[in-house]
Amino acid sequence: MDPRLMIGPQGPQLTGIRPTRSNSTAAGLPGAASFGDLFQKAVAEPTQFRISAHAQKRLTERNIDMNPALENSLNRAFSELEAKGARDSLVITREGAFVVNVPNRTLVTAMGIDEMRNGMVTNIDSVSMKYG
């Protein structure tokens, strides 16, 4: 039989090669965070959302200040709507009403309080009210 076809101890042995141990740190660098630590941090932090160019224009025109409290309210709304399977939603806050695309985490447009009184919103599947 051809020795190249033989499997097992008859074949050439590799020596001096040891498997490397995987550290829990990234690339074995001291002080680097482990994957588990990074994952927990990502889960704990609220995910940011994107503001479309149209929404940015509406925020400016309608003097709606995207302050940290409003950002936090919208982030919570995105998370809650995502958990419920919403797609295109209206989020109502003290500052105004915001149409959001949940899967893309995008603020689509914004309306001031006065516009909400006489306005109509179409093509949404859910509403979230955030007054806190």
β-pairing, 50-51 with 97-101?
unpaired
Give a yes or no: residue 68 inside a domain.
yes
Give a yes or no: residue 39 inside a domain.
no
Give a yes or no: residue 62 inside a domain.
yes
Give a yes or no: residue 33 inside a domain.
no
Residues 6+ apart with CB under 8 A from 107: 49, 50, 51, 52, 55, 74, 98, 99, 100
The pLDDT value given to residue 54: 97
Query: Which residues partner with 107 through β-bridges?
Result: 51, 100
Give a yes or no: residue 9 inside a domain.
no
Give a yes or no: residue 38 inside a domain.
no
Q: Mapping DSSP to helix (H, G, I), strand (E, B) and coil, where does residue 97 land?
A: strand
Tens of pLDDT along the chain (132 residues)? Answer: 676 776 766 555 556 666 566 555 555 566 677 888 776 766 665 568 999 999 999 999 999 999 999 999 999 999 999 999 999 999 999 999 999 999 999 999 999 988 888 888 999 999 999 986
State the Cα–Cα distance between residues 131 and 126, nearest whole angstrom.
17
Q: Which domain holds residue 103?
A: 48-130
In the chain, the number of structural domains is 1
Q: Are 119 and 111 in contact (CB under 8 A)?
A: yes
Total-model pTM:
0.65
